[in-house]
Chains A and B, each alone.
Chain A
Amino acid sequence: MKLVLRDITKRFGTLVANDAISLTVEPGEIHALLGENGAGKSTLMNVLYGLYQADAGEIELDGVVQHFSGPGDAIAAGIGMVHQHFMLIPVFTVAENVMLGNESTGFAGTLDVDEARQRVQKISDQFGFHVNPDALVEDLPVGVQQRVEIIKALSRDAQVLVLDEPTAVLTPQETDELMQIMRELKESGKAIVFITHKLREVREVADKITVIRLGKVVGEADPKASNAELASLMVGRPVELTVHKDPMKPGPDTLDVERLRVIDAAGRVHVDDVSFTIRAGEILAVAGVQGNGQTELTEALLGLQDRVEGSIRLHGEELVGRSVRHILDAGVGFIPEDRQTEGLVGAFTIAENLMLNRSHGEPFVRHGTLQLERLEGFAKEKLEEYDVRAPGITTLAGQLSGGNQQKVVVARELSRDVSLLVAAQPTRGVDVGSIEFIHKQIVAGRDAGMAVLVVSTELDEVVSLADRIMVLYRGRVVGIVPADTPRDVLGLMMTGERPEGAIA
């Protein structure tokens, strides 16, 4: 089925989210919609899916103009959507989720689960999904849950499939599997719209690329275009994708972790016998597939984990058993992996967030009273210095885009007297322009003599920032290797293999 969007315009008040956007997607084609967060990609797709009504423009399927007043119409017309946030009921089985909203019923309204089960099985076999129709959704890994969403769309005979940031939640392996699935769907003649801001994926799988910026189509690109070309199209200015850094000038050992074990309340060991050292002026990047103990490791360093064995010494001072506040005051900066829940108070202003971990004394508190004027001056300065795009310092942090939120967190941590920076997924969900900026700041911190621990599931980020790389697998160190270790070796290590020559 051929999809044509013609001059779609959608306004929210004075904000033009989509400004005369046109797009043609042929059957058997993967069409990537590339743009930064807030560029208007999701709005466009919500118009297509009938969730929003366009103020102008039309949607055409196989030459017939469509009028969708809701998702029901869109589904009936053959459009399937896999949302970034899955619309699944965790306690239902796969088959039950697939039939939901489209139940086939037998006598007296009894549900025909068998029929749904067979449908799931058939689609699963056809495309090699390997999904068990009777599994409970909550027991499935994220990647498989996503396949359930795809099955849901296919079971309603979707000919145009929209995938909204489908790789944001996936591990590298799951991403590869999804790419494979997308290729097979394409082979079977589906038209696929692939929304993303990750350049590499686009180049790997897309047949055509449309780049959107600030609600407008700014160009079509060839999948053979370089990352730098795509990025500058997306951001609107030349972007440096590689991090320029000088050779490190390591100082004395700053952080010394020995035989660290982190155990959760249920007695499971998440970090097992981990030892490493970071010198001043050095970046140690932790690589690994998500869920291999990285979260627990960073939380243990900050004193956020309850059961920690072994030792963590900062400049020789033992930190295990100390309070979070003590550790922060001892000179540890922390960029948490989830800025929305741990990094920021969304309902606080930017200024308030900038003093979040300094509410106990100078410079922002004197005799138990907030020093608001001082905070104001500080916040204005940091807004400028860290290029936070916001109307002012009293803007609520929750209203900022992901990239700007993260800049606020980075500004807060780097403007303290920090000798160790723990950065967990510092650029997850952050736009390309901000990634560049944040990377520069981290490298600048290292050059100023900080010891830096960066955790990332993106191998690109690990490789570009690291002075040394530590690979974690199931809570254990597979190896600590030089930054120039080939990617395929790192990839192998991330699956727990210990290649020849890798230093343990």
Chain B
Amino acid sequence: MSSAVGTEQHPPTEPDEAPDRNRWRETFREIASGGVTVGFLAVLLAIVVGSVLIAATDEQVRATAGYIGARPGDFFQATWDAVWGAYTALFRGSVYNTNAVSFDQGIRPLTETAKFAAPLIVAGLGVGLAFRAGMFNIGGRGQMLMAGAAAGWVGYQFDLPAVLHLSLALVAAMIAGALWAGIAGLLKARTGAHEVIVTIMLNYVAFYLVFFALSKQSLLQAPNSFNPKSLPVKDSAQLPELLGDQYNLHLGFVIALVAVAFAWWLLERSSLGFRIRAVGLNPEAARAAGINVGRVYVLVMLIAGALVGLAGANQVLGTVTSGITVDLDAGIGFDAITVALLGRSRPLGILAAGILFGAFKAGGFAMQASQDIPVDIVLVVQSLIVLFLAAPPLIRTIFRLPAKEAK
């Protein structure tokens, strides 16, 4: 008879009982905002499981396992060597190279970590910000591609004074990223289209759009070239190196830090952030309180896209300045989701998570080079972190943490 009967019949619930109609939202919120302890333990657990994999893939370990009954000492020694070697290599590759002849050389890995962390942090902020509004932005890749293409085009097309040229390229990237993400926000606000599907599809659209443009001389492709690649970015549009030629660290890291500060202010201190959080936690209550939920969805996606766009600019204008390619995002668009989850969608958490993942990237190469351990192990560890994060009850069980407070 009345369509409202369904909602009206909800009995007064105890405060700790969530209405089951928003199961997905609840689950998702739990994953995105799990405790610090859970995050830390997930990393720890992933490293432990990683050790097992390192040991299992190590030649020496497997050889000694053959006669483990006769000389178990060999097996344990080999296992220890493999795991210790791998993680110390990871450390040497990401923090401080203890084998270096000088401090300048020794500290280089840390600058590499910072370099790798910068785009992860800004893109992570973009994903995390959308999370806080209750939106799952899977479109980091597409947003980075569009932004990178825009930044690259401005970077090679114009001749401008250095500061102006770089600023223009950065702004172009932010606008391109914002618009690309804004499509998903607008569709959700206007039609209720689910942003997960829209952003995933926009990833494909962006990829083939950029690919198409890169294979047309009239569009982005470099003249007299057959490769799907643009001209290199001019010096005036490049992100300047921070510590001289000796290191690869560029201004992108500083931009990331500024973005963290901005995102923190936005979420914790601004009225827009207040509305974003309200919408993310309870859109019905937000609507009843006069907050225009649809507008918040659009705004948050615009800002998120701009932040992810900075990650695209960071790549094209700083890390790989030799021209736009279709793989300029280097997987960062997806890693950003992990970073945002591990950082619990909080700016400072994302900063920490971004640096950790930057260290994994920097150290992973060193690990492969010095210990002959496939770089994939690092990816496995990263993936395991997400897996454990997604299962807080699993972590609680393993470490015997108390369950959420009983009534």
Chain A interface (Cβ < 8 Å from any Cβ of B) = 12-13, 17, 37, 42-43, 84-85, 142, 165, 168-169, 264, 266, 268, 270, 290-293, 295-296, 302, 304, 323-329, 334, 336-338, 340-348, 352, 355-357, 359-360, 364-365, 368-370, 372, 398-402, 405, 428-430
Chain B's closest residue to A167 (CB) is: B11
In the bound complex, residues from chain B placing their C-beta under 8 Å from that of A348 are 277-278, 281
Question: When A12-B407, A264-B3 are in contact, do A340 and B13 touch as well, CB less than 8 Å?
Answer: yes
Q: Is B15 within 8 A of A402, CB to CB?
A: yes
In the bound complex, residues from chain A placing their C-beta under 8 Å from that of B157 are none
B223 at the interface (CB under 8 A from A): no
5 shortest A-B CB distances, which residue pairs?
A429-B12, A325-B290, A357-B289, A365-B271, A356-B289
Main secondary structure of the interface of B (DSSP, over half): loop
Chain A's closest residue to B273 (CB) is: A370
Question: When A304-B288, A324-B290, A341-B19 are in contact, do A291 and B8 touch as well, CB less than 8 Å?
Answer: yes
Partner of B284, one of A342, A352, A430: A342
**Minimal beta-carbon separation of A347 from chain B (angstroms):** 5
Q: Is B285 within 8 A of A345, CB to CB?
A: yes
Question: When A365-B271, A370-B274 are in contact, do A347 and B281 touch as well, CB less than 8 Å?
Answer: yes
Question: When A266-B3, A365-B271 are in contact, do A342 and B285 touch as well, CB less than 8 Å?
Answer: yes
Q: Is A356 within 8 A of B271, CB to CB?
A: no
Cα–Cα distance between A430 and B13 once the two chains are bound (Å) = 11
Instruction: List residues of B (185-234) whose CB comes within 8 Å of A's CBs.
Output: none
Cα–Cα distance between A457 and B125 once the two chains are bound (Å) = 47
Chain B's closest residue to A86 (CB) is: B11
Q: Is A368 within 8 A of B271, CB to CB?
A: yes
Q: Is B3 within 8 A of A402, CB to CB?
A: no
In the bound complex, residues from chain A placing their C-beta under 8 Å from that of B284 are 341-342
Partner of A357, one of B14, B19, B290: B290
Q: Is B278 within 8 A of A356, CB to CB?
A: yes
In the bound complex, residues from chain A placing their C-beta under 8 Å from that of B275 are 359
Cα–Cα distance between A61 and B286 once the two chains are bound (Å) = 50
Q: Is B9 within 8 A of A142, CB to CB?
A: yes
Cα–Cα distance between A295 and B290 once the two chains are bound (Å) = 17
Instruction: List residues of B (1-56) whose CB comes within 8 Å of A's CBs.
Output: 1-5, 7-17, 19, 29
Give the size range of B's interface with the partner.
Answer: 35 or more
Cα–Cα distance between A352 and B281 once the two chains are bound (Å) = 12
Q: Is A341 within 8 A of B285, CB to CB?
A: yes
In the bound complex, residues from chain B placing their C-beta under 8 Å from that of A402 are 12, 14-15
**Minimal beta-carbon separation of A334 from chain B (angstroms):** 7
Cα–Cα distance between A302 and B284 once the two chains are bound (Å) = 13
B370 at the interface (CB under 8 A from A): no
Cα–Cα distance between A296 and B1 once the two chains are bound (Å) = 14
Chain B interface (Cβ < 8 Å from any Cβ of A) = 1-5, 7-17, 19, 29, 269-272, 274-275, 277-278, 281-282, 284-292, 405-407
Question: When A268-B2, A291-B8 are in contact, do A342 and B15 touch as well, CB less than 8 Å?
Answer: no
Q: Is A369 within 8 A of B271, CB to CB?
A: yes
Cα–Cα distance between A13 and B7 once the two chains are bound (Å) = 35
Contacts A266-B3, A295-B7, A359-B289 supplied; 17 other A-B pairs, CB < 8 Å? A85-B11, A85-B13, A169-B9, A295-B8, A323-B290, A323-B292, A334-B288, A344-B282, A345-B277, A347-B29, A352-B278, A356-B289, A364-B271, A365-B271, A368-B272, A369-B269, A401-B15
Q: Is A291 within 8 A of B5, CB to CB?
A: yes
Q: Is B274 within 8 A of A342, CB to CB?
A: no
In the bound complex, residues from chain A placing their C-beta under 8 Å from that of B9 are 142, 169, 290
Q: Is B291 within 8 A of A296, CB to CB?
A: no
Question: When A344-B285, A347-B281 are in contact, do A368 and B15 touch as well, CB less than 8 Å?
Answer: no
Cα–Cα distance between A337 and B14 once the two chains are bound (Å) = 15
Q: Is A398 within 8 A of B15, CB to CB?
A: yes
Can you list 24 A-B pairs, Cβ within 8 angstroms, ordered by A?
A: A37-B14, A142-B9, A168-B12, A270-B4, A291-B4, A293-B2, A323-B290, A324-B287, A324-B289, A327-B290, A341-B7, A341-B19, A345-B277, A345-B281, A348-B281, A356-B285, A357-B291, A359-B289, A365-B274, A368-B270, A368-B271, A370-B270, A370-B271, A430-B12
In the bound complex, residues from chain B placing their C-beta under 8 Å from that of A344 are 282, 285
Question: When A356-B289, A369-B269 are in contact, do A168 and B406 touch as well, CB less than 8 Å?
Answer: no
**Minimal beta-carbon separation of B404 from chain A (angstroms):** 11
**Minimal beta-carbon separation of A457 from chain B (angstroms):** 9
| Residue of B2, B15, B16 most packed against chain A (CB within 10 A) | B15
Q: Is B406 within 8 A of A12, CB to CB?
A: yes
In the bound complex, residues from chain A placing their C-beta under 8 Å from that of B10 are 338, 340-341
Question: When A347-B281, A357-B290, A370-B269 are in contact, do A337 and B2 touch as well, CB less than 8 Å?
Answer: no
